[in-house]
């Protein structure tokens, strides 16, 4: 199961990530496109609630979710409302002003039918005129940074080795983790393996899955800007609005 052995290490692994950039982007989007006094926000693929710690400063009503039970356990330790769910089957009755799915979590979807199902689920869970913000990692990013990349990090009680490699024929990004966790009060370690597989779809293919009868595309932007994306974009944000 992805993120089972990694969950206890995740916060330390992500120490380099500038979550404040996402928080600032969300702040600007809410200010421009949402009229709610205290917007309700649902995060899909919320991991261990790292982004939630920044969003709580924005005067929003936050709810988080993740597919991995182990990640949800870590998130609960931070006292955020968090539940386990598959983004293709969002088991919640509440309607939200904004749903977010960030840090390329959507790239774990392996086919375009999954995208179509996700958009239908999100539509059901949004308030009228509600917003869905998600991002993708691109082939440009994989070819530049993760075509055949190794990294290693050592903590007091554990360490991991990651081999990232990209298959351009299948447009699949692989992240192969080997994790070693120290047994309590021992010099012995337990070894775990996790293989993470992300599918890289062209922007146009994803755009075609967004039902025009249910959503309006507000923007498809390069990275954290509001500039139009290009073939050189390494991360792309989509913002769509519920209309139907």
Asked if the structure places residue 2 within a domain, the reply is no
Range(s) of the domain holding residue 123: 7-137+202-242
pLDDT tens, 126-159? Answer: 999 999 999 999 999 999 999 999 999 999 889 9
Q: Does one domain contain both 76 and 187? A: no
Amino acid 1: pLDDT:
61
The number of residues making up the chain comes to 244
Structure tokens at 120: 């239908």
Q: Are residues 226 and 170 in the same domain?
A: no
DSSP code of 183? Answer: P
Our count of domains for the chain comes to 2
- CATH number of the domain within which 30 lies: 3.40.50.150
Give the end of a domain, one of 184, 199, 214. 199
Claim to verify: residue 73 and residue 188 sit in the same structural domain: no
As given in the structure block, the two tokens for residue 31 are: 């200010």
83-95 tens-digit pLDDT? 999 999 999 999 9
Quote the pTM value. Answer: 0.96
244: confidence class by pLDDT, cuts 50, 70, 90: confident
- Are 130 and 98 a contacting pair, CB within 8 Å? yes
Same domain, 117 and 234: yes
**Are 176 and 193 within one domain?**
yes
Say if 186 falls within a structural domain.
Answer: yes
In the predicted model, what is the mean pLDDT of residues 183-201? 94
Is residue 176 located within the same domain as residue 60? no
**pLDDT tens figures, 6-63:** 999 999 999 999 999 999 999 999 999 999 999 999 999 999 999 999 999 999 999 9
* Whole-angstrom distance, CA of residue 46 vs CA of residue 50: 8
Task: Using DSSP, state whether 242 is helix, strand or coil.
Answer: strand
What does the alpha-carbon distance between residue 197 and residue 202 come to, in Å, rounded to a whole number? 17
- Determine the 3-state secondary structure of 29 from DSSP: helix
Residue 76 CB coordination number (10 Å)? 15
């Amino acid at each position: 199961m992805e993120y089972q052995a990694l969950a206890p290490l995740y916060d330390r692994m992500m120490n380099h990530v500038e979550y404040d950039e996402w928080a600032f982007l969300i702040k600007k989007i809410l200010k421009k496109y949402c009229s709610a006094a205290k917007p309700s926000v649902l995060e899909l693929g919320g991991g261990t609630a790292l982004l939630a710690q920044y969003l709580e400063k924005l005067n929003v009503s936050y709810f988080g979710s993740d597919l991995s039970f182990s990640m949800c356990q870590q998130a609960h330790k931070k006292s955020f409302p968090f539940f386990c769910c598959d983004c293709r089957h969002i088991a919640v009755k509440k309607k939200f002003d904004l749903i977010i799915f960030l840090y390329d979590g959507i790239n774990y979807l392996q086919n375009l039918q999954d995208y179509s199902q996700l958009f239908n689920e999100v539509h059901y869970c949004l308030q009228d005129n509600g917003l869905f913000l998600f991002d993708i990692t691109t082939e440009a990013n994989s070819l530049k940074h993760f075509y055949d990349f190794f990294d290693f990090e050592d903590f007091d009680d554990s360490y991991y080795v990651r081999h990232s490699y990209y298959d351009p024929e299948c447009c699949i990004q692989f992240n192969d983790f080997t994790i070693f966790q120290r047994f309590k009060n021992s010099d012995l370690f337990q070894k775990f393996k996790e293989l993470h597989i992300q599918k890289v779809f062209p922007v146009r293919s994803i755009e075609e899955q967004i039902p025009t009868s249910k959503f309006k595309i507000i923007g498809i932007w390069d990275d954290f800007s509001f500039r139009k994306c290009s073939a050189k974009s390494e991360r792309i944000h989509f913002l769509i609005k519920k209309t139907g």
